[in-house]
Structure 1
């Protein structure tokens, strides 16, 4: 395992290393063997913090919530600021240090597992690109803080299994925050504003022209940028939102299928049912009966 830095911890700092016996359990357990934490911590205003590794045995994720620093790898070097994530996979030689004038505050996690390369790629790591930008996110800060609570459990196996799966969830949250932040940064295109418009008008047909107008872009550029940020075309994503809302209505109300179809913008119940089956994999009635057994 790559050893964490020996930076002197202040009273609010945290440095926690998963004991060897627990790592061995997590590496074997079917719920954790794909990804599990080996060390984690929180370094507030980390003046003088620095680390260099020629040999890196873990995967390492660091989130800068404030302040500044600098990172160097074999193929990249640059400054780190608030909201940046450093993605340092196993085997990557690296060195990093806090700014003297404005030292960073870091949340960090060392992790191992059979699928860690896939997780790093999901977060956006590519060779020569070890930094991603999620913005300063209270959601992520809260998730890191919650994960650190595993250090108070007396090495409970169940708690570490939960923490391992919390780490996987954290990575999906990070990916979503990176995408949302990217949308906010792109001039003239507020992804959250467009999606809010979709939800506000989920009870009617919305055209690509309308969505592009909300984004103040041409249809062509809007569609390309939306798909780059979300993985879906705007109309496909809107359809998914409609079917998601329909599922919620089927789960939580006794409305008829025709009424639910109208509430998600379809006057033709049969057409709605065909779209629902194609998207969800079951008919509306079949879905409702399966969730109420």
Structure 2
């Protein structure tokens, strides 16, 4: 296992190493063997914190919530240097030699976890870490809470069940990343844009209007949005509308025509075609399934 930092811990920091026997049980259990932690912790204003690893045999995540640090990784083309700041998440895969040092004036505060399992490589790719080890996500409470939940396994006397739960929480934390998306990336404020879409589900927003909201040309807007989300902005807006249509069909007495009108479609047949394209059934068939007893939990 990769050596963890031996940085002297101040009273408000924590480092938790899992014993080899506990790691072996996690590696063998069907619920954790493809993704489990081997050590974890959080460091607050880590003055003097530094680490250099030529041999690295697990995955390491470091989330910076304050201050900064310098990071260097050894790639096939030579050393690469990165400046780490507040809101950055580093993902260092096995085999990637690296070194980092906390800023002398404003040292970083970090949450971190070493992890193993075959599922980590796929999740790393899904989160967009193929080209570089660092991405800026901003200070996200979902990430901070996710790391904090991992550390709830402490004070358990290394009992297996709390760490099996930690493995499950680690999976939940990593699965958030492809959905979370940066607060702002590539010139797009996705959070504001999606909020604008949700506030206008009753309208038929066109691509021109969505691009104007982001102060971009239609061409650059569509390309940047697709690169970040894997779909077009019009597709996402349509799916938000159909989600809302399903809620109305489930919880209101509105007719299909009334639901169509509530979403800004004067032609209910056109709305039905859009609904069927997304849901694989017509609005009427979707509502009928409730009466057949197949709509519940």
Task: State the TM-score, normalizing by the size of structure 2.
Answer: 0.87
Do residues 114 (structure 1) and 113 (structure 2) align? no
CA contact (8 A) 1:68 1:102 kept: yes
Is the alpha carbon distance of 1:110 and 1:236 closer, same or farther for their aligned partners in structure 2, counting shifts above 3 Å? same
Q: Which residue of 1 aligns with 2:140?
A: 137
Q: Could you say what the CA RMSD is over the residues aligned between the two structures, in angstroms?
A: 2.3
Give the conservation status (yes or no) of the 8 Å contact 2:143–2:173.
yes
8 Å CA contact 1:150, 1:159 repeated in 2: yes
Change in CA separation of 1:120 and 1:279 when aligned onto 2, cut-off 3 Å: same
Out of 194-203 and 277-286, give the one that drifted further: 277-286
Counterpart check, 1:285 vs 2:284: no
Cα distance between partner residues in 1 of 2:288 and 2:93: 44
In structure 2, the CA distance between the partners of 1:54 and 1:235, relative to structure 1 (3 Å rule), is same
Aligned match of 1:19: 19
- For 1:28, the equivalent position in structure 2 comes to 28
Offset at residue 251 of structure 1 (A) = 4.3
- Give the CA deviation at 1:132: 1.0
Q: Report deviation, 1:278.
A: 2.7
Q: Which residue of 2 aligns with 1:96?
A: 100
Counting only pairs closer than 5 Å after superposition, residues 147-162 of structure 1 correspond to structure 2 as: 147-162=150-165
Q: Secondary structure at the match of 2:112?
A: strand
Match of 1:219 in 2: 218
CA contact (8 A) 1:69 1:79 kept: yes
- Following superposition, the deviation at residue 48 of structure 1 comes to 1.1
Which of 170, 175, 179 aligns to 2:173? It is: 170
CA distance in 2, matches of 1:224, 1:27: 41
Give distance in 2, aligned partners of 1:274 and 1:159: 49
Structure 2 unpaired stretches of 5+:
none
Q: Deviations over 1:59-99 (max 9, x none)?
A: 00001111111111113122211111211101111111111
- In structure 1, C-alpha distance between the alignment counterparts of 2:271 and 2:178, rounded to whole Å: 31
1:243 to partner: Cα distance: 1.8
Corresponding pairs, count: 288
Cα distance in 1 between the residues matched to 2:218 and 2:266: 26
The question of whether the paired residues in 2 share the 8 Å contact of 1:16 and 1:39 is answered with yes
Q: How does 1:230-269 map to 2 (within 5 A)?
A: 230-269=229-268
Q: In the alignment, what sits opposite 2:88?
A: 84
Residues 17-76 of structure 1, C-alpha deviation per residue, up to 9 Å, x if partnerless? 223333223223333222111111000001111111111111000011111111111131
Q: Contact between 2:250 and 2:287, CA under 8 Å: does it hold in 1?
A: no
Indicate if the aligned counterparts of 1:55 and 1:91 stay in contact, CA closer than 8 A. Answer: yes
Cα 1:44–1:119 shift into 2, 3 Å: same
Give the aligned partner of residue 37 of structure 1: 37
Q: Aligned equivalents of 1:234 and 1:154: distance in 2?
A: 50
Aligned 8 A contact 1:69 1:96 in 2:
yes
For residue 134 of structure 1, report the CA deviation from its aligned partner. 0.9
Distance 1:280 1:153, change over 3 A: farther
Q: CA deviation at 1:108?
A: 0.3
CA distance in 1, matches of 2:163, 2:243: 32
On the 8 A contact 1:132/1:178 being kept in 2, the answer is no
Cα distance between partner residues in 1 of 2:289 and 2:6: 54
Output the CA distance in 1 between the equivalents of 2:258 and 2:70. 57
State the TM-score, normalizing by the size of structure 1: 0.88
Residue number in structure 2 paired with 1:62? 62
Deviation at 1:269, TM superposition (A): 3.9
Q: Corresponding residue for 1:105?
A: 109
1:247–1:257 Cα change, 3 Å: same
Q: In the alignment, is the contact (CA less than 8 A) between 1:67 and 1:81 conserved in 2? A: yes
